Copies of this chain bind each other. A is one copy, B any other.
Amino acid sequence: MEEGLIRRSEVAKLAGVSEATVSRVLNGVGPIKEETRDRVLEAARQLNYVPSALAQRFARSRSGNLGVILPLLPKVNLFSTFYFSEILSGIGVTAKEHGYDLLLLFRKPEEPRDYANLFKSQKVDGCIILGAQNVPGERAALKELQEGNYPFCLVNQRFDGESYNTIDADQRMGSHEAARSLIRQGYRRILFLNGPAVYSNSVDRLKGYHQALEEAGLPITPSMVLVGNYSRTSGYQHAEAIAGMIRGGLADAVIAANDRMAIGLLQGLKERGLRAGEDVAIIGCDDSDGAKLTDPPLSSIVVPFYQIGCEAASKLLGAVAADPQDKKLQPVIQVKLPVRLVERASSSVIST
């Protein structure tokens, strides 16, 4: 009961078989006589034997780990904490179902993106990349992964012209829907408060907005698109200019590319005497916890983060399990999960 570490040899001895047989029984491979199997299992149970995953993985040359790379962010996250925990839970549950462990890899902003080293050092068998940006360093790192034929999957970020596995939300659909809803309600001067263009999500959201305005025959001027950095503060800072536009009759609604900016904006406008849902319509994106707490509650785009995590892990681990020689033949996976608008008082007279 209380041994230091039980090795397989002891199990073999107790069961009166060879180590190889113990291995077969425990891994369920090859033909085994019923009685032998029982004897081995009983011996293992009796000795309270737990195989060394370290040795197994070494012998198999597989780490058994699914890596999740994510930027380490200071207080003002790119991610809402909501995003973070939802997506991670999805990945975690799915990895576990596939028998993989989750290796969390924080990357400091100033650190190089040496993703390929994770594979070379055999720390992971596949990896999911969160928060990737369209910048040279990132593109080079991803290219290296692809050339090394290392399985990876991007989440919420695509790269035009590259065929990387990607699980994304249909952001374009989201802001299209948001804009259409506003237009349907009679709003005509709809601003768009976007995030940095290094995130393809920002680009996609803008497209949906453009499309909806065009379809409605509404004019779009450069001054209608503002850019923040996805933080609450940046939404707050835009309040002054936007308040001016509202008062000047140049704006009657704002779609923000995430909830954090929307919430900051909403607060900033409130301080200037402008109330969301009355003086101006506001719609955010993410449907984070905070959206339900603001006054008035914030309309938002519901993004299935948990499901995105599940999809990313499951698709990736499917590819990892494939035979090495098949790897190059793996189809590229590019998923866009649907989103939906949830309307609350910030963008309509119907309170929620």
Closest CB of chain B to A2's CB: distance in Å?
A: 7
Q: Check if A216 is an interface residue, CB within 8 A of chain B.
A: no
Question: A93 with B72: in contact, given A54-B57, A84-B85, A103-B103 (CB under 8 Å)?
Answer: yes
B81 touches A122 (CB 8 A): no
Q: Bound complex: CA of A50 vs CA of B58, how far in Å?
A: 16
Closest CB of chain B to A263's CB: distance in Å?
A: 7
Size class of the contact patch on chain A: 35 or more
Q: Check if A96 is an interface residue, CB within 8 A of chain B.
A: yes
**Residues of B close to A101: CB separation below 8 A:** 103-105, 123
Question: A54 with B58: in contact, given A72-B89, A96-B106 (CB under 8 Å)?
Answer: yes
Q: Bound complex: CA of A80 vs CA of B68, how far in Å?
A: 21
Please, what's the 1-or-0 string for A58-74, where 1 marks a CB less than 8 Å from any CB in chain B? 10010101001000110
Q: Check if A329 is an interface residue, CB within 8 A of chain B.
A: no
Q: Check if A219 is an interface residue, CB within 8 A of chain B.
A: no
Please, what's the 1-or-0 string for A101-132, where 1 marks a CB less than 8 Å from any CB in chain B? 11111100000000001001111000000000
Q: Check if A46 is an interface residue, CB within 8 A of chain B.
A: no
Q: Check if A147 is an interface residue, CB within 8 A of chain B.
A: yes
Q: Bound complex: CA of A120 vs CA of B198, how far in Å?
A: 44
Which candidate, A188-196, A220-228, A289-297, is the interface stretch facing chain B?
A289-297
Sample (16) of A-B pairs whose CB atoms are under 8 Å apart: A5-B120, A6-B120, A50-B120, A50-B121, A51-B121, A52-B120, A53-B121, A57-B58, A68-B104, A72-B92, A96-B106, A101-B103, A101-B104, A103-B104, A293-B294, A294-B295
